[in-house]
Amino acid sequence: MKHSRPASPSLPVETDACRVQRDEELWFPDGNLILVARDVEFRIYQGPLVAHSPIFKDMLSLPQPDEPHDWERTGDSTCATVHLSDSPEDLRHFLRVFVSGRSLRTGPHEPAFDEISACVRLGHKYEVDHLVQRNMDFLRKYYTDDFETWYPSNLVRPPSFKAIHSIGVVNLARLTGDVRMLPTALMDCCTLGAEIVEGFAREDGSRETLSGEDLGRCFVGRTKMAQASARIAHQMFRTVVSPTCKHTACCGRILQRMLNELGNAKDDVISCVDWYASWMVYVDSRDEERELCNRCYKMLEGERPKRLQKEVWQNIPAMLNITVEGWGTTPKKEP
């Protein structure tokens, strides 16, 4: 993955009026590279960083020009000092990857959004492709394009993420060109309320917001997903019993009652945006005596909602005005 060298305005050299502080975590006295992010200095070993980042490798190997440059290096030959435009919070997440030596450190099993975001953005900026790939692979486990992978899971996002973090996931997918993550990430954004407009504050205080185009997609998509939820509600309880039902008259009557009582259900039950939510709480509340046979109950629990949800799944890109080639088709496995 090739990228142009980022334009990163350097920070002013330390003065009496503007002092920097050493990072409490990433300051190694015998390190041979100091990176300055705003008012924080990180002293690390440049070997692992240079081994994985062509940008840092080029920057630290080429003679520095006399005139001002986007990259500034000062100090003696044993410990260069480089001023970066990244935030200390982002840079700390990024540098943690390299503290164990020349090979990339394995991150935590369930990383927080800020860690994932920083590693992808700075990994992309400094061309650490392996780091970008690893973190995007983690996101793809949840923001998948494969229905058979998505449906059995009870999670629409990583456990440590909140729904609003999907705004950031959309932006990471845009940054890396991973269009196949966009439908499910935007779908999760559609469940947000008014907070979708202002987005959220990252760890460093900068704001993560959707582009105007993606925000518009969510406004339209939210309506279409509520409509899809209403269609699923009425099709869930049509009076067609399980093919193996032994009590067709009784089960047909119960299904009809559930269908009729949809009119008395709360609006957020029938036309909720999260059309993929389970209907079993509603089923249990309308059949407290459990008159449905086990076969019909299992049908409502699994077969029927899966089929109805798959129909909606196939149309998610269209709902959000996104073109994703091959969406909804099961990927072929490698032989």
- Tell me the pLDDT tens digit for each residue of 99-156: 864 345 454 568 999 999 999 999 999 999 999 999 999 999 999 999 999 998 878 9
Task: Please tell me the predicted confidence (pLDDT) of residue 7.
Answer: 40
8 pLDDT exceeds 50?
A: no
Mean pLDDT along residues 227-243: 92
Is pLDDT of 330 > 90?
Answer: no
Which pLDDT band holds residue 333 (cuts at 50, 70, 90)?
A: low
The reported pLDDT for the residue numbered 268 is 58
> φ, ψ for residue 332 (rounded to 5)?
-75, 135
Q: Which pLDDT score, from 0 to 100, does residue 20 have?
A: 85
Mean pLDDT (the chain, rounded): 86
In this prediction, residue 63 carries a pLDDT of 65
Radius of gyration of the chain from Cα atoms?
26
CB 28 within 8 A of CB 43: yes
Distance from C-alpha of 70 to C-alpha of 66, rounded to nearest angstrom: 12
Q: What is the pLDDT of residue 102?
A: 38
Q: What pLDDT digit, counting tens, does each position of 170-199 carry?
A: 999 999 999 999 999 999 999 999 999 999
> What is d(CA 79, CA 217) in angstroms, rounded to the nearest whole number?
49
170 CB-side CA count, 13 A: 27
pLDDT of residue 166 exceeding 90, the answer is yes
pLDDT attached to residue 172: 99
Residue 1 has pLDDT above 70, yes or no: no
In whole angstroms, what is the distance from residue 73 CA to residue 79 CA? 10
Q: What pLDDT sits at residue 92?
A: 96
> Does the structure show a pLDDT above 60 at 290?
yes
Closest CA to 74 of 86, 65, 82: 82
Confidence of residue 273 (pLDDT cuts 50, 70, 90): confident
pLDDT digits (tens, 9 = 90+) for 62-111: 665 443 334 444 444 568 889 999 999 999 999 999 986 434 545 456 89
Task: Give me the pLDDT at residue 18, please.
Answer: 57
The residues, ordered by sequence, that sit 6+ positions from 172 with a Cβ below 8 Å of its Cβ are 116, 117, 120, 121, 136, 139, 178
Residues 174, 140: Cα–Cα separation, whole Å? 14
